[in-house]
Amino acid sequence: MHTQVAIIGAGPAGLTLAALLHRQGISSIVLERHDRTYIETRTRAGILEQPTVDLMHEIGVGDGITREGMVHNGFYVRFDRTTHHLDFTRLVGGHATVYPQQKLVADLVADRVGGGEPLLFEASVRSIDTTTDGARLQVQTPEGLLEITADFVAGCDGFHGVSRAHLPADSVREFERTYPVAWLGILAHTTPTTPEGMYCAHENGISVHSMRGPNITRQYLQVPADTDLGDWSDERIWDELTLRSASDDFPVLERGEIFDKSLAPLRSYVCETMQHGRLFLLGDAAHIVPPTGAKGLNLAVSDAVTLSYALGAFYLTGGSEHLDAYSSTCLPRIWKAQHFSAVLTETLHSLSADPLDWQLRRARLTRWVESEHEQSALGEVYLGLPFPSPW
Assess 47 for contact with ligand DHB (CB under 6 A).
yes
Beta carbon of residue 137, minimum distance to ligand FAD (angstroms, whole number): 9
| Choice from 292, 345, 347, 375 touching ligand DHB (CB under 6 A) | 292
| Choice from 294, 301, 311, 383 touching ligand DHB (CB under 6 A) | 294
Known catalytic membership, residue 99: no
Known catalytic membership, residue 220: no
Known catalytic membership, residue 336: no
| Choice from 197, 205, 283, 379 touching ligand DHB (CB under 6 A) | 197
Assess 46 for contact with ligand DHB (CB under 6 A).
yes
Cβ proximity to ligand DHB, 9 vs 293, nearer residue: 293
Rounded Cα distance, 252 and 255, in Å? 9
Helix boundaries (H) for 221-278:
234-244
Which amino acid is present at 267? Answer: R
Beta carbon of residue 277, minimum distance to ligand DHB (angstroms, whole number): 34
SS3 151: strand
Rounded Cα distance, 338 and 289, in Å? 6
SS3 220: strand
Beta carbon of residue 75, minimum distance to ligand DHB (angstroms, whole number): 7
Q: Which does 292 bind (CB under 5 to 8 A by kind): ligand DHB, ligand FAD, none?
A: ligand DHB
Q: Which does 94 bind (CB under 5 to 8 A by kind): ligand FAD, ligand DHB, none?
A: none
Nearest partner of 387 among 313, 332, 327, judged by Cα: 332
Percent of residues in the chain assigned helix, strand, coil, to nearest 5: 40, 30, 30
In sequence order, the 6+-apart residues with CB closer than 8 A to the CB of 230 are: none
Assess 33 for contact with ligand FAD (CB under 6 A).
yes
Known catalytic membership, residue 261: no
Assess 184 for contact with ligand FAD (CB under 6 A).
no
First-to-last C-alpha distance (Å) of the chain: 34
Question: What residues are labeled active site?
Answer: 72, 199, 291, 295, 382
